Structures are given as structure tokens and as C-alpha cells.
Structure 1
Amino acid sequence: MIDEQHRRLFALAGRLTLDASANDKDEAGGEAVLADLLDYTHSHFRDEEEFMRLIQYPGLRVHQQAHASIFAGVDQLLARMRTVDRQIMRREIGYFISEWLVRHVLHDDLQYTRYIRDQVMP
């Protein structure tokens, strides 16, 4: 389930980045993709944290802090959106999300995957 959610997150982040790069004038479409991505990310983080509770993952608190840090960064970018060109901000947000998504999945999530391999299902 978590892997499927990761695939969906990558697809949404890719759509956001492509929309911003295409310089389309359909800001409502780009804003809708961004809203979908942020909503889905919230639900994914909630599911992921619940899963970590179930397997009694000892790094849950640190992982929760990483999730909070990601959303703090997004919140800062969204606040800037009020004062900077929306197209530029969509591009920045798309880049930020793509970067944290890759880094988070390949680094942070890999740690609990190893925990499952070594401790839960040895």
C-alpha cells in the first residue's frame, strides 16, 4: 500500500512539475494539481505513520519530524506565492516537492524498510 502511494505521489509531483515547465496559462489547473498533491501527501504521511506505529518502528518520532519539516517548507513556499509570480512559485514548489519526495523515499523510508526486513520479518 505504501509503495503504491509513493507511485501516486511521484505521478502527482511529475504532473505539477510538467504543468509549471510548460508555462501554461491554466493556473487553476496547476493549483488543482498542487492541492491534490498536498492533500494526498497528508493522507500518505498519516498512513505511513500509522503503519510505523503498528510495526513499532523505533524511528517513528524522527520520521514524523521529517514529515513536519517537509510541510513547513511547503508552507513557506505557499506563503511566498502571494508576493511572487504564481508561475515561478509553482515551478519552485514543484522542484521542492520532487526533491523532498525523492530524498524522503530513498533515504528516510528506506530506513523503516530495513527495519521491517531485519526486525519484523527476519
Structure 2
Amino acid sequence: MHQEEREKAGFLGCIRDLQVNTKEVFIMDEAIRGRNVKNCKEFICQGQICQNGGTCVSDGETWFCRCPELYSGKLCQHNACDRSPCGHGATCIPKSNQDAMCLCPLGRQGLLCSDRK
């Protein structure tokens, strides 16, 4: 097989979102600078890539998500409860993208519900 034929074989299309197991891989930013890789033809924000009510902002080549108050991360996929700060079956309620409040179950008290009543 000639070098020219090898470059034509393989995937032909557009990959915008990639997840390996449970980890999101952000290939869009790196792929645009790669060899024989071009940006997807459709407007990047058209696919509603931002989560949890985030708004996609793009100039056609670069993009970012403007996240609502309680969320953070490249795709607005994180909030303060992702760290599971509450213990002993408590319910976590995000107060901001960095701060959370724990609602303790019966018999528990304290900031993280770690104290017995």
C-alpha cells in the first residue's frame, strides 16, 4: 500500500464528543491543530454541547460554555455536590459552583452530617 492510500483509509467524518469509559476526552481543541484534521462543518454550538443549561459561545473555531451559577467545568458538567461532601446518607444541595449544603437524615447533624444527635 502506498503512503497516499494509507492516509485515505480510516475514519471519515466528524467527532465532536468522545467519552472513554466515564472520562470525557476533549479532542476538538487539539484535533483542529492536527495533521489532516479539520473542524466539523456544522457550527460547533449547534449540537448543544453545554450541559445543565449552559450556553455555548463560539467564534467559529474556538468555543466555551458559559455556565449557570451552580455549575462549572468545560461543559458545565460539575457542581459542588460532585465531590460527595455529605456523609451518612445526607442529601447534597449545591449553593454555588464551589459550595454545598447537606440535609442530614434523622439522627445525624453537623456541617457534613458526620455527628450523631
Report the TM range for the smaller structure's normalisation: 0.3 to 0.5
- TM-score normalised by length of structure 2: 0.32
Q: Which structure has the bigger radius of gyration?
A: 2
Higher strand share: 2
- TM-score normalised by length of structure 1: 0.31
